[in-house]
Structure 1
């Protein structure tokens, strides 16, 4: 199995130390919000749909999962996964007040017009609808050239409220230690080097990564910390 293709219930290995914390943080964030999911859930930019089983299993109360993605995705692997709806990356082909919940995991950084996408998600949500999302903060350029942004929590809250969301809850992923662990893992696994050198370096960095993650503390965003990413929940309220 390719460790880079595994998203859930990860065990730290020399091979997955670059993505171990990041993917674990996304899973934990989804597990926290899962009891709030219900009705129809729209997965915006669903890609390989790695969290479909997680978000549709109890204690989630999702009755219908709808995968939304581009008609043609430049990433060949994504073409292997069929989706339910196609969009152009901005306009969602649904009417207003169509779904109870929406999610976008590691998607907003790829949107050239994120404010427009947020407005569209707000439009298709029913009153009291939930939008869950994650975005990276400390991560290499990826899916080049379709990697657009890295967001601060302050920019995210401003943009979501401007899109019409009445309530915004943001949570940082990791602190100083998790950030350093992630960088070490990325360096060991992705820096160009020979296979033999990578094997040796990965064996050296793995216990350091484990130690750092064991001692990591989730920071207060007001303390100007280093973080690896952000998850959030935005709520649409009925303004009528």
Structure 2
């Protein structure tokens, strides 16, 4: 897969804390591209980094709509501003208007996740697909708008309560990826006395972090002592019944 500075960064001293996670998110998204078609709503789109991915084959998306908060923390240039703003509660679209939806690393920021999911369900057409990811092992970020770290079992409950069906969940990374991520997070984000110390330690640890990330095998079952870096999933709006 082609390297991209955000979507699929190379392992380097500066990316030790997120290169494996971003790669895992991109791989999970790409595994579902053939299921995307028609109008796609990107919820919490930020700088819209996934737009070039979802509007090109094998996706069959013909219209992309980026949605983000009216008072988003992202200060975007004109070319990267979302197509729609919202208040975090009511999506400004009519019922049954989008064919598929995307919510990458968004639900952990929603104070009422079931409200967000019900709104997503409302604007999806019957049979419409939602793809999403959430972090499990990650520091506080976008403070104070960081609300939750979900287990698979909490996600199952929230999606069921919101009315979605055919929920499928997968781990983005397992034990080895979790250790790689924690080492990277410690090296890149922990306060240190000097940049030189950080650079030296990052350089020493980089082969270990890369090795752990490459040998990781995400768990296939969510059981006792399962360790995750994050979760990807898909869910479907029920089709209309006669």
Aligned to 1:84: 83
Deviation string, structure 1 residues 157-210 (Cα, Å, up to 9, x no partner): 111011111110000011100000000000011111110000001001111101
Deviation string, structure 1 residues 11-65 (Cα, Å, up to 9, x no partner): 1111101010110111001100111000000000111001100111100000000
Q: 1:216 aligned to 2:225?
A: no
Q: Distance in 2 between matches of 1:80 and 1:98?
A: 24
Deviation string, structure 1 residues 103-131 (Cα, Å, up to 9, x no partner): 10001000111110000001111011000
User: What 5-or-longer segments of structure 2 have no aligned partner?
Assistant: none
How many residue pairs get aligned? The number is 236
Q: Which moved more, 1:76-85 or 1:103-112?
A: 76-85
C-alpha deviation, 1:6, in angstroms: 3.0
Q: Distance in 2 between matches of 1:200 and 1:217?
A: 29
- Determine helix, strand or coil for the equivalent of 2:120: helix
Contact 1:73 1:79 (C-alpha < 8 Å) held by counterparts = no
User: What 5-or-longer segments of structure 1 have no aligned partner?
Assistant: none
Q: Distance in 1 between matches of 2:151 and 2:163?
A: 19
Contact 2:47 2:74 (C-alpha < 8 Å) held by counterparts = no
Contact 1:72 1:79 (C-alpha < 8 Å) held by counterparts = no
Aligned to 1:47: 46
Q: Distance in 1 between matches of 2:96 and 2:35?
A: 18
Aligned to 1:58: 57
1:9-48 matches, cutoff 5 A: 9-48=8-47
Contact 1:161 1:167 (C-alpha < 8 Å) held by counterparts = no
Contact 2:46 2:74 (C-alpha < 8 Å) held by counterparts = no
Aligned to 1:233: 234
Q: Distance in 1 between matches of 2:5 and 2:113?
A: 27
Deviation string, structure 1 residues 65-89 (Cα, Å, up to 9, x no partner): 0000111213435887211111101
C-alpha deviation, 1:9, in angstroms: 2.9
1:128-207 matches, cutoff 5 A: 128-193=127-192, 194-207=194-207
Indicate how the Cα distance of structure 1 residues 80 and 187 shifts in structure 2: closer, same or farther if over 3 A, else same: farther
Q: What is the TM-score of this pair, normalised by structure 1?
A: 0.95
Runs of 4+ in 1 over 3 A off after TM superposition: 75-80
Q: Distance in 1 between matches of 2:163 and 2:78?
A: 33
- Determine helix, strand or coil for the equivalent of 2:12: coil
Q: Distance in 2 between matches of 1:239 and 1:150?
A: 33
Indicate how the Cα distance of structure 1 residues 79 and 90 shifts in structure 2: closer, same or farther if over 3 A, else same: farther
Q: What is the TM-score of this pair, normalised by structure 2?
A: 0.94
